[in-house]
Chains A and B, each alone.
Chain A
Amino acid sequence: MSNERLSAPYGALIDRTKAVSFTHEDKTFKGFKGDTVASALAANGEFLLSRSFKYHRPRGALSMAGQDANTLMQINKDGNALADRVPISEGMSVQGQNYIGSLKGDVGRAFGLFSKFLPVGFYYKAFFKPVGMWERWAPLFRKITGLGDIDQQHEPAYFDKQFRFYDVVVVGAGPAGLSAALKAAETGAEVLLIDENPALGGSLLYSRLYDTKPDEHEDHAAELLAQLLEKVTLSHTISVMSDAVCNAWYSDNWLAVIQAQRLFKVRAKEVIMCVGSMEQLAIFRNNDLPGVMMSSAALRMLKLYAIAPGKRAVVLTGNTEGYACALELADAGVEVACLVDMRSEATNEAMAKAVTNRGIKTVFKQTVFEARAGSNKNHLGHVSLREIVAQGRCADIDDSVIDCDLLCMAVGYMPTYQLICQAGGTLAYNDESDQFSLSNLPESFQIAGSVNGHWAIDDVIADGKFAAQTAMARWVEGLTTDCAPPRENEYSTSDTTNYTWPIFPHPKGKEFVDLDEDLQIADIVNATLDGFEHVQLVKRYSTCGMGPSQGRHSALPTARLVARSVGKTVSETGVTTARPPFAPERLAHNAGRSFYPARRSAMHYRHIEAGAQMLQAGDWYRPAYYGLPAERELSINAEVTNVRTNVGVVDVSTLGGLEVRGADAAEFLNRFYTFGFVKQPIGRARYALLCNEAGVVIDDGVACRLSEQHYYVTATTGGVGRVFQQMLKWNAQWCLDVDIANVTTAWCGVNIAGPNARKVLEKLAPDIALDQESFPYMGVREGMVAGIPARLLRVGFVGELGYEIHAPQHAGEALWDALLDAGNSVNIKPFGIEAQRILRLEKGHIIIGQDTDAMSNPMEVQMTWALGRKKPFFIGARTINELEKTPLERVLVGFCVNDASAPIPLESHLVLDGEHMIGRVTSCNFSPTLKKAIGLAYVPPNLASPGATVWIKSSGGVQVQAEVVSLPFYDPELLRQEV
């Protein structure tokens, strides 16, 4: 293919020495390094990029700035990539989107013939009747609509995040941004300058500084840009991020900036938004044909990529920008057939004269009424011009028809308001001047340049400097304020003003307001006629502004059309809300390198080595059971049996550990937990039940008195954080002489349990008397176990003779090894938390959080024995006293299933009375010891007595008969643990 280019200095972004080959629709093309896909294709004469969403209309470059959905293409395996943003690379594969057959001959374009039958909101009105029809329509719609293809063999790439911190962040590196950054840097501030383009300069890279020297060919913009860039390069405090998009503003100047595969979370003391403005569409029939583009897009093609966007051009304008565009095109050798000025006269005499001097024909008070394809059905071939007889109305007949392959639109701008409005700024429209303004900016937030309504280059630069000075004055004491704000109205705003009404309905329609969604003038007007008069409702009903370009070009014409239709002004109508992200972003940018903390005990790898199947409980990894998944039940049952008949060890390092120390330690616990602790003897442990002020059971553990002023308190794995927090809160409130420390990780824990537990432990702790008399149930001792300093607790969660050994975490693995080694002769085995759950269930011990919920009080869970009745206060006491005066509504009871063939109920299965739910199961398992299913369930009090029958709706809807039994299920005389 040809790859025709203008000679330098055109082509600021391309490197002509480096050719790049790529394929488009399976044909090979050549471009240059620095080309985007769209520019490289245009250089090869390929202006058709993709097909539109609904009517499969041919679409080409519109903004050449990544602001529109026309350039969405399938690039390599990425669907919906912006062809005017993505640079070409060697071997790249590019395809159009949304076509059936071939891109050029798409048979799907026939959908446009039925557009009359697809009015706005048609999907809300049709296809739903008769009932069930939508299910038939949906597959068809899904096939013919939608955008690119998803790569289902996608290999994840590495995306991550990074925080950055600056004094000043300037978004947009055009003349205002460059000036602002330089001015801020003068104070020594650390400045970050962000620009979404590969090169800094903004409009200086492609626009003509016509306001000062309109008829000269010298490139004053380039000269100015070079000066600014040199200063930026020399600055030691300015950092530059190009090819980086500031995609969101969040509170306290937290900016989400995306560059390559990283999401930067940028914090700034001051933000200066120099984000420029977005050129707007003229609305006329077939304004979406390839070859019809913004004047700025044509200039970008010329200046950035050295591409003549057409051979014969018409420029449609409503301000002086069109004159500049015509001159630039003419300079580049493009024949400008006509400059169509919708106004009655030019406002910039110098520019008008320059255009005349170049021999460019200018017509006034006319507009393009219709664009038509030429012999190439997918590209502009002619435009028809008509006289404008009233606002938005044309004469009935064409004034002329002009052959052209390029139509440039220069009808006005809209500020790039999205990030500024995210920051709380207010976008306002002046119905008299047709200009936008932004106000109500937050503190530490400035705007400058065209987004602030300044267009003349001197004003833009002055505005950038002034914004930086304003920002830095807050931080630099005695800052010299030598910059004045730009001159008000000195420069003729008519040069860049928005043309009042560049919207011209055509009897045959196809005047597109929103190119993303193929929405025409009638669609917007009909939405209001359907009763959706508010612009936000119009958006949702019509989907206008909901496409990939998020209303960048449709917001203003929609506001105008809605305003006219409902009899309001544009300023009263407003535009829809702009939410993050500003530009399309990959999910990977948000999901990439997320952090999922994982906690492992010192014995973790011993569990793995022993064949444990690990499960995650909160952040902790815990051994569920030891054995193959296929033998899960067998393994768990064997572990249970081994504890009941021999001895087992379980890692309980995840248990919470809290040191409560100080003169008031006993008093503190006495108030904090429900039991009494003041008279607790040293060397004894006591069950500690914690309620909140509403009398709800929220945690439990044991409190071990190690000395007069020192308690070591355990808490549940998941609850220790909350218990610690509550302890700190209440300690602050009670002002007791107590210190509280969370030492959960500092101590690992192993519970050795079973009839042979003492026999094993005796080998390792010769200095500790372990016999029942010396070290009774609920006793606590400190001493050495296998040479490791340890705390030993005789507790009985699993209901056997057992010792919980707490030791320094770093010694955990050595302790584990020593216990298994010492128990080798009696065939000691580790057991996991699944076995532990069964063992405790057999003993009728509840697990807080599993057998309790957010309403469970001590009476319901039959733990009134844990309430200290004689002490004056504990947290929740008052509520519990009141609750005790009212009848119980439910009780947690033990049940067993006597029918061995019945399915075992699971947690949360319902207890039923006929069809009515009267309770639920909280725990249930097959007991290897009792050889039947046992469980805990909430039931009404009238069914809580042993012997009562309840029905549980088990798996598959099978109703299982269960018998309420007294707790514990196993060893009710406590003969096993107190030996």
Chain B
Amino acid sequence: MSDVTSISTFTNLRRSLLARTHAALGARYVAALPPHLTDSDTPIIADYGDPELETTAATLAGLCDVSMFPRWGCKGRGTPDWLKSQSWRLPDKVNHAEEQKDGNIVARLSNDECLLMGDLHFQSARIAELEVLYQQQLPERVYALPRADSHACFVLCGEFSANVMSKICAVDLRSHTFSNGHVAQTSVARVNAITVRQDINDTLAFYILSDLSSSEYLWECLLDALLEFNGCPVGIDALHALGNNT
């Protein structure tokens, strides 16, 4: 479990749009973050005060806000080659995602567009480094996309997470029809969303990315949908507990 802190999330430069929602739920924050996150003054929720409950909920239907995690994207005809040249492994197919050795995830949204999501253990600084490198190189026909600010990102995990999604999304996301690593760019609760299935160990999990300005709305929709499965909001520690075997 993380060392936790009750730091104010209302004085950072970068603040979660759900800070008040999380505060009302009793969020406690990870105290010791690596430099690439502390530099950007990013609060990450460790738990909501009941780690045991959250650990159980994460196996059923847990919802974790990872919007403040590193995230970046780029598009353009030069994108695949440039990312490969920086040692990122890209999925061969569009609408597929691939987890990197360091836990970062690359989702290929089109032939020439990729979304990069930071590892759940927030140890890798590769995305931050890549952003810096991009600014230095400005590679030809590679166009940066500020995914950390354009999209909220939630992880919905647990055996009932596909059932939860079936209440708000018309795409069949059941585990045997929507395999691990599949991506659906679709509508969730009537807002555009990128849904990436990326299991955490053997636990079914979806990364749901949607317009950041809709984050409070979508958070509420997801919470409403998961209640019937004994789900609840969970902090990052609950997700780590799912991945303890790795």
Contact = CB atoms under 8 A, between A and B. Distances in A.
Interface of A: 160-165, 265, 267, 593, 595-602, 604-605, 619-620, 653, 659, 661-662, 737, 739, 741, 743, 745-747, 786-788, 808-811, 813-814
Contact of B14 (A162, A596, A746, A814): A814
Interface in B196-246: 211-214, 216-217, 221, 224
A-B interface, 6 closest residue pairs, ranked by CB to CB distance from nearest: A746-B150, A599-B213, A165-B172, A746-B146, A595-B190, A746-B149
B76 interface: yes
Contacts of A743: 145-146, 150
14 contacts: A162-B166, A163-B172, A265-B170, A593-B224, A659-B143, A662-B141, A739-B75, A746-B146, A746-B212, A747-B149, A809-B17, A810-B17, A810-B148, A811-B15
A278 to B, nearest CB: 33
A811 B221 CA distance: 25
Most chain B CB inside 10 Å of its own CB: which residue of A160, A788, A808: A808
B17 A600 contact: yes
A162 B217 CA distance: 19
Contacts of B211: 599, 745
B167 A809 contact: no
Nearest to B75: A739
A813 B213 contact: no
Contact of A745 (B149, B216, B224): B149
A871 to B, nearest CB: 26
Contacts, number: 105
Nearest to B152: A745
Contacts of A747: 146, 149
A595 B189 contact: yes
Given A600-B213, A810-B148, A739 B12 contact: no
Contact of B146 (A597, A619, A808): A808
A810 B166 CA distance: 30
B166 A164 contact: yes
Contacts of B150: 743, 745-746, 809
Contact of A619 (B141, B167, B214): B214
Contacts of B14: 808, 810-811, 814
A160 B167 contact: yes
A788 B14 CA distance: 9
Interface in B170-201: 170, 172, 174, 177, 189-191
Contacts of A746: 145-147, 149-150, 212
A741 B213 contact: no
B31 interface: no
A746 B73 CA distance: 12
B187 to A, nearest CB: 9
B53 interface: no
Contact of A741 (B145, B170, B189, B190): B145
B220 to A, nearest CB: 9
Contact of B214 (A265, A267, A599, A739): A599
Contacts of A160: 167
A585 to B, nearest CB: 19
B210 to A, nearest CB: 9
A901 B127 CA distance: 64
Interface string B130-162: 000000000001010111111100000000000
B16 interface: yes
A809 B71 CA distance: 14
Nearest to B142: A739
B68 interface: yes
B143 A745 contact: no
Contact of A809 (B10, B141, B212, B224): B212
Interface of B: 10, 12-17, 20, 68, 75-76, 141, 143, 145-151, 166-170, 172, 174, 177, 189-191, 211-214, 216-217, 221, 224
Given A161-B167, A163-B170, 8 more contacts: A163-B169, A165-B177, A599-B213, A619-B214, A659-B143, A746-B212, A809-B213, A810-B17
A162 B167 contact: yes
A662 to B, nearest CB: 7
Determine chain A's interface SS by DSSP, over half rule: mixed
Contacts of B145: 741, 743, 746
A814 B216 contact: no
A595 B221 contact: yes
Most chain B CB inside 10 Å of its own CB: which residue of A161, A661, A810: A810
B60 to A, nearest CB: 17
A599 B214 CA distance: 5
A739 B143 contact: yes
B169 to A, nearest CB: 7
A741 B212 contact: no
Nearest to A737: B141
Nearest to B165: A163
Contacts of B191: 597
Given A161-B167, A163-B170, A808-B149, A605 B20 contact: yes
A737 B141 CA distance: 9
B40 to A, nearest CB: 9
A160 B224 CA distance: 10
Contacts of B189: 595, 597
B72 to A, nearest CB: 11
Contacts of B212: 745-746, 809-810
Contact of A601 (B141, B146, B169, B213): B213
Contact of B13 (A620, A653, A741, A811): A811
Nearest to A660: B143
Contacts of A601: 213
A739 B110 CA distance: 14
A601 B148 CA distance: 15
B214 A809 contact: no
Contacts of A602: 15, 17
Most chain A CB inside 10 Å of its own CB: which residue of B75, B141, B213: B213
A808 to B, nearest CB: 4
A593 B75 CA distance: 36
Contact of B213 (A620, A662, A814): A620
B76 A739 contact: yes
B179 to A, nearest CB: 15
Nearest to B147: A746
Given A599-B213, A745-B211, A745-B212, A810 B75 contact: no
A593 B151 CA distance: 24
B19 to A, nearest CB: 8
Nearest to A787: B13
A599 B211 CA distance: 9
Nearest to B213: A599
B143 A599 contact: no
A267 B149 CA distance: 36
B69 to A, nearest CB: 12
Contact of A163 (B17, B166, B213, B214): B166
B150 to A, nearest CB: 4
B151 to A, nearest CB: 8
A796 B17 CA distance: 29
A165 B173 CA distance: 9
B61 to A, nearest CB: 14
A597 B220 CA distance: 11
B213 A745 contact: yes
A107 B214 CA distance: 59
Contacts of B12: 814
Contact of A597 (B13, B167, B190): B190
A608 to B, nearest CB: 10
B143 A661 contact: yes
A245 B151 CA distance: 40
B161 to A, nearest CB: 14
Contacts of A593: 167, 224
A739 B14 CA distance: 28
A522 to B, nearest CB: 51
A813 B15 contact: yes
Contacts of A162: 166-167
A822 B152 CA distance: 30
A598 B177 contact: no
B13 A814 contact: yes
